[in-house]
Amino acid sequence: MNIITEYPLWLILFCIAAGIIYSGILYFREKKLNELSVWMVRLMAAFRFSAVTLLSFFLLSPLLKTVNREVEKPVIIVAQDNSESLVAGKDSAFMKKEYKQNLQKLIDELNAKYEVRLYSFADKIKELNTADSLTFNEKQTDISTLFGEIETRYSNRNIGALILASDGLYNKGANPVYSSDKIKVPVYTIALGDTTVKKDIVLLKAEHNRLAYLGNKFPMEIVVNAKQLKGKTTTLTITKGEAVIFTQTINFNSDAFTASIPVLLEAKEIGLQHYKLKLSTIPEEINTSNNFRDVFIDVLDARQKILILADAPHPDVAAIKESIEANQNYEVESYTADNFDKPLKKYNLVILYQLPNSHNPASKIISEINAGGIPVLAFSGASTILKSDLSLVSGGLKTNESEAVLEQNFPLFTISDELRKAFKSFPALVCPYGTYPNENSSDVLFYQRIGIVDTKTPLLFFNTSGENKTAIFSGEGIWKWRLQDFASHGNHNLFDELISKTVQYLSVKVDKSFFKIAGKNNFLENEPIELEAEVYNESYELINEPEVSITIINADNKKFLYTFSKTNNAYRLNAGMMPTGEYKFDAKVKVGEKIYTQHGEFSVSALQVELTNTIADHQLLYSLSKKHDGEMVYPYELDLIAKKLNSRSDIKSVSYSQNKLNDLINLKWIFFLLLFLLSFEWFMRKRNGAY
């Protein structure tokens, strides 16, 4: 260290001169001090000289410059795969005991020369103190995230090498060989697991819809895989509770067998339904845990009921009905007006085709719709123009051939870019000619193009009065659009999108409840149970002052009580991970004197991707080590890793130098030195009567 100043060092002479002059005047010109001994006067003068010189020197803003040198050992990162695939084979006892001991021995040996950091990875990346903390029970493996995490945590650090211990199997994230580009250090891999193809039956996956509707049959596709079992058989069984609802025998006709089994099941009960899938085992199997799978399907009795009423049969009605029925969320009924005598209140949406008109005002139907606040989609005919309140403007009008022109800023719902382009090729419709009412509160999706002229005459517009929604389509021949869509694309997807989004907007009911609970109805076993809650006051404003509590009940009727945490204006709950199974919950909140409750259910499904493939991929590990100038070793060769690292000349300690500048006046010992000098001088003068 050394001392520097902001001013030239020769100014220190003036500091010394100031000390000499000050002490000289004080001690050698004062007659009162002549009675004291010479050594006493000189001692007090020396103290005063030192104090004044130091104080003067501090006026030069002196700085203390220090150089700190630090030696950083190379960091050796040991990353251990902690997934359950490592203990799915016959060497599970070795992995759980002997391997962990050998890994810890390697870490201890490396610690003598390097700074060693141990991490486990699979579902998540976690730093460990010892290898004994490894559990080999995580459900997914993501190696690519490991490289990103190392790059983030050890940027600009002296990383010597990465030791990666894994079976090379990953089922989440990108290919590790490519995602490792961000790692610029040697990578040594420990090849765990077994590459031998064992005799095994695997229930690879079960594809199904998350939702089904009561009374419907829903498909499930089950993929079965078998290795080295040619000539053997297994039985696929699906049970619900104690009842067996499906069974099929599967014959394996090759040693690398894969088959897809289609199953059609019926939704007979409302709520979360639990189905157990099982493949019967054979004595030759080493791993039988991948022969089972749980499937949870939420069965709803909540299909939207749509009614189509027409003045007479028309191809437009058939096109609209077929399009709506393509979505299993809707149940459609169609009648002519003279054959319909049911109450309308059970329907979520009424579609009126060419009703009302000049010869059939449909007064009873319109009155019932208005009284029940039922949403309406009305199609005007060639001789009818309707207002948004479904009143008839006029009849017996002439018609125009009109194409659709899309309103680019339509606010109620979005449509795909493909559908936007398709409208340009859709054929013209037959539209009533006349003066259309100007509805200032309407939102227009399509205007009419007559010939080459784009008009402001609406073709399809929406109107909302309070909570009542109405849409008017002023054209006939929409069946042509459906045919054109099929001719251009080989399907009706774009036409169905238009009808589906229109019906969805009109039929959906706004939830005005004062207490809401939102969240997934199915979680994986490695996911935390997360729910959100919203509470509203009488003005329907979000509040979060009251406390929201929830009781989660498992299949054994055991209850777990939680309290939601408050966010800015709502609530959030993280209940952590729970065992697989079915759960119900009861939530409540007290707002003023009112108590609001919500009930629901969810399931936790087993995650078995680690057990579907247990054949180690040592080629991937070999590619990783070669790409990064390392080597691959086997579990019984762990002692070679320390020798190989010690023999490398590019893994060495790094010395860092850091310059620091501190104000000298900020040092505490300076203060106490000055205090001592001035205090001692004052004490000596006082004692000898110099004051």
Condensed to tens digits (0 to 9), the pLDDT of residues 491-501 reads: 999 999 999 99
pLDDT confidence of 549, banded at 50, 70, 90? very high
pLDDT at 522: 86
Region at 390 (left for phi over 0; alpha for psi -120 to 50; beta for the rest): left
pLDDT at 405: 94
Cα–Cα distance for residue pair 415/527, rounded to 1 Å = 33
pLDDT at 223: 93
pLDDT at 543: 93
DSSP string, 593-641: TEEEEEEEEEEEE---HHHH--B--HHHHHHHHHHTT--EE-GGGHHHH
pLDDT at 39: 79
Averaged over 280-301, what is the pLDDT?
86
- 304-507: in CATH 1.20.1250.20: no
- 200-300: in CATH 2.60.40.10: yes
**More reliable by pLDDT, 36 or 365:** 365
The pair of structure tokens assigned to 162 is 């990465």
Q: Where are the domains of the chain?
A: 2-68+661-687, 74-147+180-196+615-646, 200-300, 304-507, 515-605
pLDDT at 506: 92
- pLDDT 10s digits, 309-354: 998 999 999 999 999 998 877 889 999 998 998 999 889 999 999 9
Cα–Cα distance for residue pair 184/641, rounded to 1 Å = 19
Domain 515-605: which topology? Immunoglobulin-like (2.60.40)
- Asked whether the beta carbons of 628 and 77 are under 8 A apart, the reply is no
Averaged over 429-455, what is the pLDDT?
84
- pLDDT 10s digits, 606-648: 887 877 788 899 999 999 999 999 999 999 999 999 999 999 9
Coil, strand or helix at 284: coil
Coil, strand or helix at 109: helix
Output the average pLDDT for the chain: 88
Give 572's strand partners. Answer: 532, 565
Measured in degrees and rounded to the nearest 5, phi and psi for residue 40 equal -70, -40
pLDDT at 302 over 70: no
pLDDT at 387: 81
Please tell me if the domain spanning 200-300 has the same topology as the one spanning 304-507: no
pLDDT at 394: 63
pLDDT at 421 over 60: yes
pLDDT at 35: 65
Rounded-to-5 percentages of helix, strand, coil across the chain: 30, 35, 35
pLDDT at 61 over 90: no
Cα–Cα distance for residue pair 671/363, rounded to 1 Å = 100
Query: 1-15, 155-169, 284-298, 409-423: lowest mean pLDDT where?
Result: 1-15
| Class at the top of the CATH hierarchy for domain 74-147+180-196+615-646 | alpha beta
Cα–Cα distance for residue pair 369/672, rounded to 1 Å = 93
- Which residue bears the tokens 């002439």? 398
Cα–Cα distance for residue pair 480/422, rounded to 1 Å = 13
The pair of structure tokens assigned to 131 is 């290898």
Measured in degrees and rounded to the nearest 5, phi and psi for residue 29 equal -115, -5
- Please tell me the pTM assigned to this model: 0.60
Coil, strand or helix at 637: helix
Averaged over 274-284, what is the pLDDT?
91
pLDDT confidence of 477, banded at 50, 70, 90? very high
pLDDT at 1: 66
pLDDT at 260 over 80: yes
- Contacts of residue 283, Cβ cutoff 8 Å, sequence gap at least 6: none
The pair of structure tokens assigned to 278 is 């099982």
Cα–Cα distance for residue pair 497/492, rounded to 1 Å = 9
